[in-house]
Amino acid sequence: METLSIKKGFEDEIFKVLKNRTEDDLIEIDESVKRIIARVRSEGDPALFDMTKEFDKVALGSLRVSEGDIKEAMEVVEDELLESLRLAAENIRTFHEKQVEKSWQYEKEDQVLLGQIITPLESVGIYVPGGKASYPSTVLMNAIPAKIANVARIVMVTPPDRQGKINPYVLAAAKIAGVDEIYKIGGAQAVAALGYGTETIKKVNKIVGPGNIFVARAKKYLYGLVDIDMIAGPSEICIIADDPEDVQLIAADLLSQAEHDEMAASMLITTSKELTASLKVELIKQLDALERKDIAQQAIKHHGLIIEVEDMESAFCVANKIAPEHLEIMLEDPMAYIPQIKNAGAVFLGRYSPEPLGDYFAGPNHTLPTSGTAAFASPLGVYDFLKRSSLIYYTEDALRKEKDDIIRIAEKEGLTAHANSIKVRFMNNEIKKEVDNDEKS
């Protein structure tokens, strides 16, 4: 794990040493993704069946998960886990209900009404990764905000196993979250099906959810045809801490992200050289006990970083420049540092608010901006499933008062048709007034 010392006033130096965790060469992947998208667009369902056989090694009889499959999953999943998923869902629901926006309007004056109409998206597609792991938490985090937003049609796609089945925990979470349709399809082809639609899968308005590089690139290429949540990079955590006594907690939290994949980044910012030394020893100790040791070890080796700074002001300056997905403040009185936090996807305060609490249970969304995008992006929320339309109403008298200003601006921009759109509304009235005046005289 690399150690870097940054002097006060030189916090920008962090940009020179941060590893570039994006793909070095996407040309081959992009060409493959574009071929997959084009094939799904032209062939529809047959392409999905063929590619599922090719990539997932299973010949499907149908794409859609049946009610019987869902019922079977609910019977298979342990009661204790079902209860845990329901409690997590309730926490997520309670948090996200506070994000609901309402339509509003106001009268600028008696004859002018302005406002904003909030409407939900009509349909949303959720991608849930499959393979060896199962991600019921991903289902809850993506589907529940969409449900709260009153999205009429929530569709989930996820790759099947070699027996053509979907993980029962994922199906149970989908049932709890209220997903409307579930399809056994994964990869870039699933994203293409959501974007263009096929004989079985109807097109959606937006695609959300994590996935591998093929899924991420497919979302990128379909943006504009549909909306997407974000193009997420590898997971990352940044911890600000200064007490060597917390080394066991810090190591455990850094490794909780490192086990995601070899590209995950785990970073500590500290004022304590003693903590730096003890952390390196503790990481080795805890790595040996991990089931995903090889993955976590590679992540820590290539993307782990300890950043030593002179004081806490510098620590938060560095953290804001990194703009991490997850930021843990493991300091005494962590609340006092909230004003110093400018850029982070999710912030975890104190020793008893570890990152996995946010991943699974607390309530705030775990779909977060990565790779520095927290400097301008936000976590997934109910607002991602709503759209806003402006509302404008003027009476004739109200428009008459402002018509000359509008015409003046339009003509200055050289858009005379815009100006004429205003003029014609009063042209006949002015002529009529002149005629009336002539008749009276």
Active site residues: 325-326
Please state the φ and ψ torsions of residue 98, each to the nearest 5 degrees. -75, -10
Report the DSSP beta bridge partners of residue 105.
115
395: its two tokens: 């009476």
Residues 6+ apart with CB under 8 A from 191: 37, 125, 127, 157, 207, 211, 215, 218, 219, 222
Query: Helix, strand or coil for residue 113?
Result: strand
Three-class DSSP category at 232? coil
The three-class DSSP label of residue 158 is: strand
DSSP type of residue 200: S
Phi, psi of 416 (to 5 degrees): -70, -25
* Cβ(362)–Cβ(338) below 8 Å: no
| Alpha-carbon distances, residue 131 vs 236, 257, 302 (angstroms) | 22, 19, 25
Could you give the angle at the alpha carbon of 144 between the alpha carbons of 118 and 383, nearest 5°? 30
281 backbone dihedrals φ, ψ, rounded to 5°: -70, -45
Rounded distance, CA 210 to CA 158, Å? 11
Question: Which of 206, 183, 188, 203 shows the shortest CA–CA distance to 51?
Answer: 188
Residue found under tokens 């994000």: 99
Please report how many Cα atoms fall inside a 13 Å half-sphere around the Cα of residue 389, on the Cβ side.
7
Going edge to edge, which strands form the sheet with 386-394?
Answer: 104-109, 112-120, 386-394
**Could you give the dihedral angle defined by the CA atoms of residues 19, 276, 330 and 303, in that order, rounded to the nearest 10 degrees?**
20
Distance CA 228, CA 226 (A): 7
